[in-house]
Amino acid sequence: MPELPEVETIRIGLSGFLPGKQVQSVCSDNARSFPNAPKDVDEFLIGAKITDVRRRAKVLLIDLDSVYTLVIHLKMTGQLVFVQGTAPKPQTVKSKTQNDPPSTNRHLLTTKTEVRFGAGHPSDSLIGKLPDKSTRAIIEFKDASKLFFNDQRKFGWARLMPTIEVPNIDFMKKVGPEPLEADFTQSIFRNRIRRRAKSSVKAVLLDQTVLAGVGNIYADESLWGAKIHPSTIVGTLSDQKLNKLYDALLAVLRLSIEKGGSTDKNYVNAEGKKGSYLSFANVFRREGQPCARCSTLLIKVRVAGRGTHLCPNCQKVATP
DNA sequence: CACTTGACCTGTCCGC
DNA sequence: TGCGGACAGGTCAAGT
């Protein structure tokens, strides 16, 4: 679920909290979610200070002064939850599904001022209830603040590795350019998209080796913006159409970062606010609703193995 | 080699 | 009410 705008929102938020924090202790389930050997954690994470929080594609990079980096991919349901260690300030945010009596919250931490990042699930809407059963790792800092890594579906992972080796990860070597970097021009976009001339344009947008950071939400939104059917074969698209797609893609990515990303179930940014992009979305999860341009009812189909939202009137399959 | 599909997971939702 | 199955999607491995 977290795509480029969500991970960037998380990066911005964590950048306000983490630099300078010194790691006091770490606990994890030692499974796939955080597979490092305990001795490496002892040597390179415990006692280290965080120097920077970076992002590449959908990957978060938390740099340490041990010259190691914590590399985190949230995949679909991963979250990073930062909990301040001081000034406990009880909050009562109720689940929308039920009114949980406080007495049932047996896992309340002593500190309750928390900031949650990333994709979530309904049980997460009770702020202050951590760790929960999706918690995979907890990093505690010397000032008693904590960073929780939660992931309901265990697709995400966090890995500690030497900073200098991060660019050598297979994913990092293969991943395409950042679409919001200044030197990512229309012609570079067209050339990279055209590398997969026989594929559907949606499959190519989702291909991280073509360009970095686009997932299902922003693929659908940008194709609607450019009036291109997601099944259109890349080779049949004109330069003009691809330029429109470039413009639409950059516009939706920028708008979403401005809105703090997309909140599906729940998700808040550094200021405790939900990402609001989905309320600006034109097609994603809006099947059955009228198209904002032509009022035709939006539909949901399957393209490139993904649920795909489009306007059947504005986005017709290109006929060569 | 280029491209597509399935596996990995768990929680939710829908139909019977 | 409960149960089975489809579905959600980022990425990699396996298949066509």
Say what angle helices A4-15 and A239-258 make with each other, to 10 degrees.
30
| Mean pLDDT confidence for A105-111 | 29
Give the CA A63 to C1' B7 distance in Å: 32
Q: Is residue A83 within 8 Å of A114, Cβ to Cβ?
A: yes
- What does A107-156 look like in DSSP terms, one character per residue? T--S---EEEEE---GGGGSTT--S-TTEEEEEEETTS-EEEEEETTS--
Between the CA of residue A277 and those of A25, A244, A258, A268, A293, what are the distances in Å?
36, 21, 8, 12, 18
φ and ψ of A138, to 5 deg: -130, 125
| Mean pLDDT confidence for A117-128 | 45
A269-282 pLDDT, tens per residue?
544 456 677 778 89
pTM: 0.85
Q: Is residue A275 within 8 Å of A263, Cβ to Cβ?
A: yes
pLDDT of A107 over the 90 cut = no
Q: Is residue A26 within 8 Å of A46, Cβ to Cβ?
A: yes
Kindly list the catalytic residues of A.
2-3, 58, 306
- How confident is the model at residue A97, as a pLDDT? 33
- How confident is the model at residue A205, as a pLDDT? 94
Chain C positions within 7 A of any protein Cβ atom are 7-12
Q: Is residue A256 within 8 Å of A218, Cβ to Cβ?
A: yes
Give the CA A1 to C1' C9 distance in Å: 7
d(CA A235, CA A227): 16
Give the CA A251 to C1' C10 distance in Å: 22
A15-69 pLDDT, tens per residue?
999 999 999 999 887 667 888 888 889 999 999 999 999 999 999 999 999 999 9
Q: Which residue is nearest to nucleotide B9 (CA to C1')?
A: A153
Nucleotide with smallest C1' distance to residue A74 CA: C10
- The tokens for A183 are 């030197």
- Name A residues 223-282 whose Cβ lies under 7 Å from strand C: none
**End-to-end CA, chain A:** 34
Q: Exposed e or buried b for every residue in A141-175, given b needs 16+ CB within 10 A? A: beeebbbbbbbbeeebbbbbbebeebeeeebeeeb
- What does A172-191 look like in DSSP terms, one character per residue? HHH----TTSTT--HHHHHH
Quick one: CA dihedral A184, A187, A191, A193, positive or negative? Answer: positive
A151-209 pLDDT, tens per residue?
888 888 999 999 999 998 888 888 999 999 999 999 999 999 998 888 999 999 999 99
Specify the residue for token string 């390179």: A44
Q: Is residue A58 within 8 Å of A7, Cβ to Cβ?
A: yes
Chain B positions within 7 A of any protein Cβ atom are 2-6, 8-12
- How confident is the model at residue A318, as a pLDDT? 56
